Amino acid sequence: MRAWLSPRAWGRRIARLWRSSLQLRTIVMTVGLAAVAALSIGSAIAVSVSGSLFDARRDQVLTFSTNATVAAQRVFDSTPGEDAEIDSILNEVIRTIQTAVATPEGTAYAIQLAPGEPPSGFSANANSPGLDLDAVVSPELRQSLVDEAEDRVNWQSIGLRRADGGVSPGIVTASPLAIHGARYALYLIYDIRDAQETLGVVQLALSVGGLALVVLIGAITWVVVRLVIGPVHRAAVTSQRLAAGELDVRLPVHGDDVLATLARSFNGMAASLRGQIKELAELSTVQQRFVSDVSHELRTPLTTIRLAGDLLYDRRESFDAETGRTVELLHTQVQRFEGLLADLLEMSRFDAGAAEMELEPVNAVRLAEQVMGAMASLAAEKGSELVLIAPGGFAEAELDPRRIRRILTNLLGNAIDHGEGRRIEVWVDSDADAVALAVRDYGIGIAAEQLDRVFDRFWRADPSRQRTTGGSGLGLAISLEDAALHGGWLEAWSAPGEGSCFRLTLPRRQGETLSASPLSLPPVAEVEPEYVHSTETAPAKEPA
């Protein structure tokens, strides 16, 4: 059996619907209560009607029986007591009775010697054809004629077996007849099926009416609930859309009731929210544009300075020592300024969401080798040895090589700056989903409270420290953005005195989510790494 078909699943589904839908709860409860009320009232009416109907029929039947008894008695009394003529007398009596008790369903009759009466010389016993008297007349009724001396009519409710096998309600009456001195009983059996049918019609009308009432109440409840809950539900949906960023959604305001007040306050809130967000967005756009424009505007004069500086720098040999040094400083600082400007512009691109990736299949180990090769001379100046440890990472990953190269250059530059001339390791490893690059130095390290801030813009670990790579202070911030653009992580670890490690983890295919990094932080060699080379033993090639 499919899960959604199992009773338990259905139960859960209904329970959830019950909890979540105020409409359902209200309608079900109202309809339930209305049904109980309709049922009680209907039953009371049905009982009362059936009682009245029966009483009316019984009274009518008793009148019939009384009349028939009187008429029959008169016939017997007016005829001579000749036993020989009893049959013809009986026939006349029966005619008389039948005239007196004519009912639509027909009435059976029986005349019998009363119980306990000694048989007389003649028999006046007679009954309707096919009548099984014992089946319809109970001993109690027979006995009642004996017990009560008066000439009254006794009656009893019975069920009449019909020819088609059904049972109709009936009334049997018993009244005494004195026939030529002998006590006889006149039994009249009435079929009151028509009363039963009338009752049925009434009950049907009551049921249909009750059901219609319940349905009507349900419908009315539904309409009322919709009128009240509809706006509330709309408000809920609208606030969800507002929360999702559709700042232009509003609630319709009708009339002056509490729902209209709700709608008005909601709309006021939405308008104020949109105003503030718009203001912030505009402010942010203006600020980003400003940074971008400033960066661009600075470029033209910077170009002039650069051209002038380079021209002088090329001729520095012809100047005296002091002027020559000045020209050198001018040259390097203009370069630094240029780098800063480029970083600033790159940052404004990230802020504006305008950064785009150019993805290529990249071999992370080769890329690391290239960057290490480019940085080798700088590392050598500081006395640091660059070591590549690559247990994996040879398979190609889908990356933007320019950005990854920039991250790695930046991390290596920092490591060389803060590495105290000790060895610097570049780790590369990969698994099925991710490729990781880590740069580990054994320098002074970063204090824990400062480690959280290393990715902040223009933040420096130690403002007084001399910098050789001429960083802008935006390097790690840009690296973090580059990593984020790939859907990757850039994380830092450090212990004062033991050095630092920056680990970059990137998904091997774009659009996939990272769950774990192939390298630990800081990386630890589990076994002797297979692929290790250092700048001393195997100088990395210049990038192609």
Partner 1 sequence: MSARILVVDDDLALAEMIGIVLRSEGFEPFFCGDGGQAIAEFRSVRPDLVLLDLMLPGMDGVEVCARLREETGTPIIMLTAKSDTVDVVGGLEAGADDYIVKPFNPKELVARIRTRLRPSQPAAGDLVRIGDLVLDVAGHEVRRGEERIALTPLEFELLLALALKPEQVFTREMLLEQVWGYQYKADTRLVNVHVQRLRAKIEEDPDNPRLVTTVRGIGYRAGG
> Is 336 among the residues that bind partner 1 (CB under 8 A)?
no
The stretch near partner 1 (CB under 8 A) out of 53-61, 184-192, 308-316, 480-488 is: 308-316
Among 57, 142, 193, 349, binds partner 1 (CB under 8 A): 349
Pairwise CA distance, residues 246 & 265, whole Å: 17
> Is 41 among the residues that bind partner 1 (CB under 8 A)?
no
Instruction: State the burial class of residue 376 (Cβ atoms within 10 Å of its Cβ: 0-12, 13-18, 19+).
Output: buried
Question: What residue ranges in 106-257 does DSSP mark as E strands?
Answer: 107-113, 126-127, 154-161, 167-179, 182-191
- 313 Cβ contact partners less than 8 Å away, ≥ 6 residues apart: 327, 328, 330, 331
> Is 274 among the residues that bind partner 1 (CB under 8 A)?
no
Among 99, 303, 333, 468, binds partner 1 (CB under 8 A): 303
Among 294, 302, 357, 395, binds partner 1 (CB under 8 A): 302
Residue 143 CB neighbours (<10 A): 15
Q: State the nearest-atom distance from the C-beta of 482 to partner 1, in Å.
A: 15
Q: Which helix (H) or strand (E) holds 283?
A: helix 258-314
384, 424 contact by CB (below 8 A): yes
> Is 338 among the residues that bind partner 1 (CB under 8 A)?
yes
Cβ proximity to partner 1, 182 vs 330, nearer residue: 330
Q: State the nearest-atom distance from the C-beta of 490 to partner 1, in Å.
A: 23
The half-sphere exposure of 98 on its side-chain side, counting CA atoms within 13 A, is 11
Among 78, 304, 377, 515, binds partner 1 (CB under 8 A): 304
The half-sphere exposure of 521 on its side-chain side, counting CA atoms within 13 A, is 18
Classify strands 424-430 and 386-389 as parallel, antiparallel or unpaired.
parallel
Cβ proximity to partner 1, 41 vs 359, nearer residue: 359
Among 7, 80, 165, 301, binds partner 1 (CB under 8 A): 301
Cβ proximity to partner 1, 293 vs 381, nearer residue: 293
> Is 310 among the residues that bind partner 1 (CB under 8 A)?
yes
The stretch near partner 1 (CB under 8 A) out of 220-228, 307-315, 409-417, 490-498 is: 307-315
Cβ proximity to partner 1, 73 vs 295, nearer residue: 295
> Is 357 among the residues that bind partner 1 (CB under 8 A)?
no
Cβ proximity to partner 1, 85 vs 314, nearer residue: 314
Peptide bond into 118 cis (omega under 30): no
Q: Which of 436, 420, 442, 529 is nearest to 491 (CA)?
A: 436
> Is 307 among the residues that bind partner 1 (CB under 8 A)?
yes
Give the type of residue at 141.
Answer: L
Cβ proximity to partner 1, 111 vs 334, nearer residue: 334
Q: Which of 347, 396, 397, 367 is nearest to 511 (CA)?
A: 397
Where on the chain is the footprint of partner 1 (CB under 8 A)? 296-297, 299-308, 310-311, 314, 338, 341, 349, 354
